[in-house]
């Protein structure tokens, strides 16, 4: 099991860049040539009380209120999406229930021109960056057009969510390389899961980011599970963050259920990367309170006790307590937000449900910039077959079937 998050980090040491002769010879064990440590940061405990001095932004309503509002929005969207799936109106859906503090803080910390490369569980970051709710539903409803982000201020350069685990990590290296080559003050952010850190793609990407000192921030969203495989079975390393050390990249752990901690770590990492200080790895310790997806039943592999314990760490309740205590939020605010969120979700769901299905030829029309002559015949055949099938279905319905 992951060590208790309250405790001081167990992984320690310091990267010894210092000259070897200054180290004491430790006898037969040889001299120490490299040491490292991984630090863990949390600002708010599970009751939303500050456990250390808060950064100034934690009392800034312009920063904190949008984060809280998007966390609530993310949870409401997840709830709606699961309901739509259960009633056959949406495909398999991966909820980020419990991870709202991490996913929203990632999106909030990024600049508009930065590029997000995330998984299927970064809904909060996507919403914060301007992906529309209806687009997210359209995507999970089975239409790739949902990944053609078109809302006002949409993050047009962001990658579509990545399904094959960790395969987007190398993309982030290329994106960051382009930014650095063009001397742009932009950063790529690659969010991936605890399971993803076991893949070679992740190591290759870390290594490349280190070699070229790219403006790239990796966020390991450690929700303790990769479907049914627990964190403890994923790696024997004390922290996943320390995997960055081997690539020469600084890394840290934060309490992923404390949006203040995630935001702070991301802000620092992003601004350092923007200033040319190179890549950074943030491991956010959080928990997936939902099933892996709507196609999963987590009770097959994890105990009700564990779930109960983790529910108590709820990132939304925690942040709300802090905001209320800091006088940034009131009961009236909460009621207004509840109403506004429900209305937004209902409106987006109605918009999604009214969308026409994509035309069948869409599968050909975006395969290449221009359809090669060699594929024209197949496209025509598809259009004809689909039209005939539809006509038959309609006449069947008219026959009273």
Partner 1 sequence: MSGAAAAAGAADQGRHSTLSEITLVEAVNAALAHELEADPSVLVLGEDVGVNGGVFRATAGLYERFGPERVVDTPLAETLIAGMSIGLAAQGMRPVAEIQFMGFIYPAVDQLLNHASRLRNRTRGRLSCPMVLRAPCGAGIHAPEHHSESTESLFAHIPGLRVVVPSSPARAYGLLLAAIRDPDPVVFLEPTRIYRLVKENVRDDGTALPLDVCFVLRDGGDVTLVTWGAATRETLEAAERLAQDGVEAEVIDVATLAPLDMQTILESVEKTGRCVIVHEAARNVGVGAEIAARIADEGLMSLLAPIKRVTGWDTVVPYAKLEHDYMPRPEAIVAAVRETMEAA
Ligand X SMILES: Cc1ncc(C[n+]2csc(CCOP(=O)(O)OP(=O)(O)O)c2C)c(N)n1
Residues taking part in catalysis? 288, 292, 301
User: Among 193, 210, 256, 279, which residue sits at the site for Mg ion (rule: CB under 5 A)?
Assistant: 193
CB of 57 to ligand X, least distance (A): 27
237/24 Cα distance (integer angstroms): 27
Of residues 48-67, those binding ligand X (CB under 6 A): none
Round to whole Å and give the CA distance between 12 and 206.
20
As a whole number of Å, the end-to-end CA separation of the chain is: 56
What are the structure tokens assigned to 196, written together? Answer: 């993803």
Residue 123 to residue 132: CA distance in whole angstroms: 10
Q: Does position 194 bind Mg ion by CB under 5 A?
A: yes
Nearest to 53 by CA among 44, 40, 65, 61: 44
Q: Is residue 30 part of the contact set for ligand X (CB under 6 A)? A: no
Site string for ligand X, 160-199 (x = CB under 6 A): ---xxx---------------------------xxxx---
How far from chain centre, in Å, is Cα 53?
27
Question: Which C-beta is closer to partner 1: that of 57 or that of 177?
Answer: 177
The site partner of 368 among Mg ion, partner 1, ligand X, none (C-beta below 5 to 8 Å per kind) is: partner 1
Does 291 engage in binding with Mg ion (CB under 5 A)? no
By CB under 8 A, name the binding residues for partner 1: 115, 117, 144-145, 147-149, 156-157, 159-160, 163-164, 167-179, 181, 188, 200-201, 204-205, 207-208, 211, 362-363, 366-369, 372-375
Asked if 153 interacts with ligand X (CB under 6 A), we say no
Q: Which residue in the shown chain puts its C-beta closest to ligand X?
A: 193
Our finding on whether 101 is near ligand X (CB under 6 A) is no
| Interface with Mg ion, residue 162, by CB under 5 A | no
Q: What is the DSSP letter of 117?
A: E
- How many chain residues bind ligand X (CB under 6 A)? 15
CA atoms of 81 and 95, how far apart (whole Å): 8
> How far apart (Å, rounded) are the C-alpha atoms in residues 286 and 101?
8
Is 19 buried (19+), middle (13-18) or exposed (0-12) by CB count in 10 A? Answer: exposed
- Count of all residues that appear for the chain in the document: 401
Q: Which does 165 bind (CB under 5 to 8 A by kind): Mg ion, ligand X, partner 1, none?
A: ligand X
Contact 231, 224 (CB under 8 A): yes
- Comparing CB distances to ligand X, the nearer of 108 and 196 is 196
142 vs 396, beta carbon nearer partner 1: 142
Q: What is the smallest separation between the CB atom of 179 and partner 1, expressed in angstroms? A: 7
Query: Measured between alpha carbons, how far is residue 99 from residues 19, 124, 221, 291, 364 in Å?
Result: 43, 9, 8, 12, 37
By CB under 6 A, the residues from 227 to 256 that bind ligand X are 227
Other Cβ atoms within 10 Å of 207 Cβ, number: 16
Nearest by Cα to 320 from 23, 135, 111, 44: 44
How far apart are CB 224 and ligand X at their closest, in Å?
A: 8
Decide whether 175 or 226 has the Cβ nearer to Mg ion: 226
Q: Which residues bind ligand X (CB under 6 A)?
A: 119, 121, 163-165, 193-196, 223, 225-227, 288, 292
């Amino acid at each position: 099991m992951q060590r208790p998050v309250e405790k001081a980090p167990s992984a320690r040491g310091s990267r010894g860049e210092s000259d070897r002769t200054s180290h004491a010879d430790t006898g037969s064990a040889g001299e120490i040539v490299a040491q490292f440590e991984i630090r863990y940061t949390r600002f708010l405990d599970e009751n939303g009380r500050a456990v250390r001095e808060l950064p100034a932004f934690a009392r800034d309503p312009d920063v904190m209120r949008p984060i809280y509002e998007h966390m609530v929005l993310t949870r409401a969207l997840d709830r709606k999406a699961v309901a739509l799936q259960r009633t056959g109106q949406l495909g398999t859906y991966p909820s980020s229930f419990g991870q709202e503090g991490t996913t929203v803080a990632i999106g909030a910390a990024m600049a508009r021109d930065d590029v997000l490369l995330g998984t299927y569980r970064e809904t909060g970051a996507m919403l914060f960056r301007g992906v529309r709710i209806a687009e997210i539903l359209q995507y999970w409803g089975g239409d790739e057009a949902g990944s053609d982000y078109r809302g006002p201020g949409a993050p047009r350069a962001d990658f579509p969510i990545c399904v094959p685990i960790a395969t987007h990590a190398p993309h982030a290296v290329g994106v960051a390389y382009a930014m650095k080559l063009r001397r742009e003050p932009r950063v790529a952010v690659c969010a991936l899961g605890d399971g993803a850190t076991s893949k070679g793609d992740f190591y290759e990407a870390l290594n490349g980011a280190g070699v070229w000192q790219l403006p790239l921030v990796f966020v390991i969203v450690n929700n303790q599970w990769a479907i049914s495989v627990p964190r403890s079975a994923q790696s024997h390393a004390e922290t996943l963050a320390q995997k960055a050390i081997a690539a020469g990249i600084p890394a840290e752990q934060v309490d992923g259920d404390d949006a203040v901690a995630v935001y702070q770590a991301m802000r620092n990492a992003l601004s350092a990367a923007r200033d040319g200080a190179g890549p950074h790895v943030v491991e956010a310790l959080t928990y997936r309170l939902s099933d892996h997806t709507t196609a999963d039943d987590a009770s097959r592999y994890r105990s009700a006790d564990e779930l109960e314990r983790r529910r108590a760490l709820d990132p939304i309740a925690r942040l709300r307590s802090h905001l209320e205590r800091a006088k940034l939020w009131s009961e009236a605010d909460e009621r207004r937000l509840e109403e506004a969120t429900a209305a937004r979700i209902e409106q987006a769901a109605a918009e999604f449900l009214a969308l026409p299905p994509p035309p069948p030829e869409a599968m050909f029309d975006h395969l290449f910039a221009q359809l090669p002559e060699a594929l024209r015949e197949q496209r025509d055949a598809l259009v004809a077959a689909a039209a005939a099938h539809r006509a038959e279905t309609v006449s069947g319905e008219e026959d009273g079937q």
